[in-house]
């Protein structure tokens, strides 16, 4: 009777252990963990979070990309710049040294350009140097001295450059008188402008009252250097209030504050000023936040890209992202996580095989993706022999040609693609049941035992079965010399592992049964 009472308990216990064993013995594939990178085309901008954005208008300097210098250029450097530029414009205060011969005597003169641009040479006369450049004045001085002193061989040197002041007035934080020199351009004196100053129409009034207009946006953002002139003595720079200031944010290439012309449209602003729309932009749900003077608040206007809506001063244009589902591509091989703090070195453990997930935007191409992930390639990345696995097929891609802008055919990424970046053919991959599965430096005329030793030897679960393939996936013999680019895979000894596991489980069941049997005796269970 006692045995009958014990049987169900022992059977249940045995079933529990056998169930655990069956779950344990399932052959699971090892998942490759990797870091995730999102395509920069994606935007986290939410059109419903306008208030949280706290959009601020850029300053005058930020609109033009002007940078405040920590210190001024020293006079000796400015002098060298002027001397090296034959087109340096003559400036009041410029000082010259003239060396010449008067018969057998060496003579020296020091001349300075006065406030009226005149250069007075004693006993010879006065030169009007206004609108002259350095090379012209030097040649004129030489000719005058040579005419008066025959065979004098005059030499003319610029020894210091003049400094003068200009006024900056109008839409400024404070009206200023600024010390400048003949190398100073308009953009260098307007940093006192307020955030509402006009970047598109800056006036310069010269000493004769002549007014000229300049567009600093074209000068600094579009490279039209004639719109950023050198200043002259007597100039006054006048900044007025901007006609129209517009802030653009969201899914565009160049968000910021712009000053479009009166007749320019929404499309002009988004394409010409903001650099165009990202492919993630929702063209049908553009939001314009417009200031209402009467209520002192902003009202929201929804429009689309093709709209002929008139853009007004202080409008805030927000381009939201379209609702999309993220797809991904797996990238494996000779890549690194640039944010990793790992100190592993190739000399100690070899180059680790990396893996990452790249979430791409619908329609994004391989070339687009490479612009984002190229920093993750290393000197061991064999970019020329990379390939993509798509639907079980291998597609060779020479990533070097992409990075060198020498591609002829690009192709669109598809969900499920796997991009393989092989290690440069100077490494051998050792995987499977070894202590340190990595890629190790290739050594000529070495066999499999050498690389397994580099990997720390086999684990306790390793079998004697070793699979070796070359860089093209062809099987190699275990007694051959290992070529560069080969993969060595030490397989698991599943039989010995399972036998050991079963033996352990049987022992546990046996001793558990004894414990139960003893417990039943103690409590007098029949």
Indicate the pLDDT class of residue 451, thresholds 50, 70 and 90.
very high
Q: Is the pLDDT assigned to residue 43 strictly greater than 70?
A: no
Q: Give the bridge partners for 109, in sequence order.
A: 98
Of the listed ranges 61-75, 274-288, 389-403, 469-483, the least confidently predicted one is: 61-75
| More confidently predicted of 99 and 38 | 99
Indicate the pLDDT class of residue 298, thresholds 50, 70 and 90.
confident
Residue 234 has a pLDDT of 92
Q: Reduced to 3 states, what is the DSSP secondary structure of residue 442? A: coil
| More confidently predicted of 423 and 277 | 277
CB contact at 8 A, 35 and 359: no
Q: CA 317, CA 308: separation in Å to the nearest integer?
A: 14
Q: What is the DSSP letter of 186?
A: G
Handedness of CA 332, 333, 338, 344 (dihedral sign): positive
Q: Is the pLDDT assigned to residue 143 strictly greater than 80?
A: yes
Residue 524 has a pLDDT of 62
Whether pTM exceeds 0.75: no
Cα angle 409-411-414, degrees, rounded to a multiple of 5: 170
Q: Is the pLDDT assigned to residue 291 strictly greater than 80?
A: yes
Mean pLDDT of the 170-184 span:
92
Q: Is the pLDDT assigned to residue 20 strictly greater than 50?
A: no
Residue 2 has a pLDDT of 46
Residue 485 has a pLDDT of 81
CB contact at 8 A, 470 and 485: yes
Of the listed ranges 47-56, 130-139, 481-490, the least confidently predicted one is: 47-56
Indicate the pLDDT class of residue 337, thresholds 50, 70 and 90.
confident
Handedness of CA 10, 12, 16, 21 (dihedral sign): positive
Mean pLDDT of the 54-73 span:
77
CB within 8 A of 395, min separation 6: which ones? Answer: 387, 388, 389
In the chain, pLDDT over 90 holds for what percent of residues? 49
| More confidently predicted of 56 and 477 | 477
- Angstrom CA distances, 432 to 27, 327, 428, 455, 457, stand at 14, 30, 13, 10, 11
Indicate the pLDDT class of residue 292, thresholds 50, 70 and 90.
confident
Per-residue pLDDT tens over the stretch 350-378: 455 778 889 887 788 898 899 888 888 88
Q: CA 32, CA 43: separation in Å to the nearest integer?
A: 28
Q: Reduced to 3 states, what is the DSSP secondary structure of residue 404? A: coil
Handedness of CA 508, 512, 513, 518 (dihedral sign): positive
CB within 8 A of 240, min separation 6: which ones? Answer: 170, 171, 197, 198, 201, 203
């Amino acid at each position: 009777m006692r045995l009958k009472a014990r049987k169900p308990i022992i059977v249940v216990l045995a079933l529990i252990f056998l169930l655990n064993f069956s779950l344990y013995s399932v052959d699971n594939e090892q998942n490759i963990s990797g870091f995730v990178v999102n395509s920069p085309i994606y935007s986290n901008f939410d059109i419903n979070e306008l208030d949280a954005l706290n959009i601020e208008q850029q300053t005058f300097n930020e609109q033009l990309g002007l940078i405040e210098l920590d210190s001024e250029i020293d006079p000796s450097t400015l002098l060298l710049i002027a001397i090296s530029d034959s087109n340096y414009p003559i400036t009041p205060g410029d000082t010259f040294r003239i060396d010449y011969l008067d018969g057998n005597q060496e003579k020296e003169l020091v001349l300075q350009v006065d406030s009226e641009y005149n250069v007075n040479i004693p006993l010879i006369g006065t030169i009007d140097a206004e609108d002259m450049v350095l090379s012209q004045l030097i040649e004129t001085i030489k000719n005058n001295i040579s005419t008066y002193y025959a065979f004098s061989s005059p030499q003319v040197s610029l020894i210091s450059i003049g400094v003068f002041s200009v006024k900056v007035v109008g839409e400024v934080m404070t009206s200023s008188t600024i010390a400048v020199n003949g190398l100073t351009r308009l953009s260098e004196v307007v940093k006192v402008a307020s955030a509402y100053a006009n970047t598109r129409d800056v006036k310069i009034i010269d000493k004769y009252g002549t007014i000229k207009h300049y567009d600093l946006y074209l000068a600094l953002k579009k490279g039209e250097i004639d719109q950023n002139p050198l200043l002259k003595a007597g100039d006054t720079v006048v900044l007025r209030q901007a006609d129209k200031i517009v802030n653009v944010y969201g899914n565009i290439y160049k968000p910021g504050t712009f000053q479009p012309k009166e007749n320019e449209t929404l499309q002009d602003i988004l394409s010409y000023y903001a650099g165009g729309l990202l492919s993630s932009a929702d063209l049908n749900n553009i939001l314009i936040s417009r200031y209402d003077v009467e209520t002192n608040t902003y009202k929201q206007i929804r429009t689309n890209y093709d709209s002929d809506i008139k853009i007004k001063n202080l409008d805030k244009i927000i381009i939201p992202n379209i609702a999309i589902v993220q797809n991904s591509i797996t990238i494996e091989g000779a890549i690194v996580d640039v944010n990793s703090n790992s100190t592993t070195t190739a000399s100690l453990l070899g180059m680790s095989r990396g893996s990452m997930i790249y979430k791409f935007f619908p329609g994004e191409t391989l070339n687009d993706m490479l612009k984002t992930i190229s920093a993750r390639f290393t000197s061991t990345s064999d970019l020329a022999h990379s390939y993509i696995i798509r639907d079980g097929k291998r597609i060779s891609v020479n990533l070097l040609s992409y990075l060198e802008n020498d591609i002829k055919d690009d192709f669109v990424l598809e969900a499920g693609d796997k991009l393989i970046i092989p290690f440069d053919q100077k490494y051998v991959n050792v995987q499977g049941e070894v202590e340190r599965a990595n890629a190790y430096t290739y050594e000529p005329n070495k066999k499999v035992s050498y690389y397994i030793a580099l990997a720390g030897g086999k684990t306790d679960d390793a079998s004697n079965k070793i699979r070796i393939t070359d860089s093209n996936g062809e099987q190699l013999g275990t007694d051959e010399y290992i070529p560069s680019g080969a993969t060595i895979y030490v397989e698991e000894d599943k039989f010995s592992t399972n036998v050991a596991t079963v033996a352990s489980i049987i022992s546990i069941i046996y001793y558990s049964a004894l414990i139960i049997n003893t417990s039943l005796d103690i409590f007098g269970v029949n």
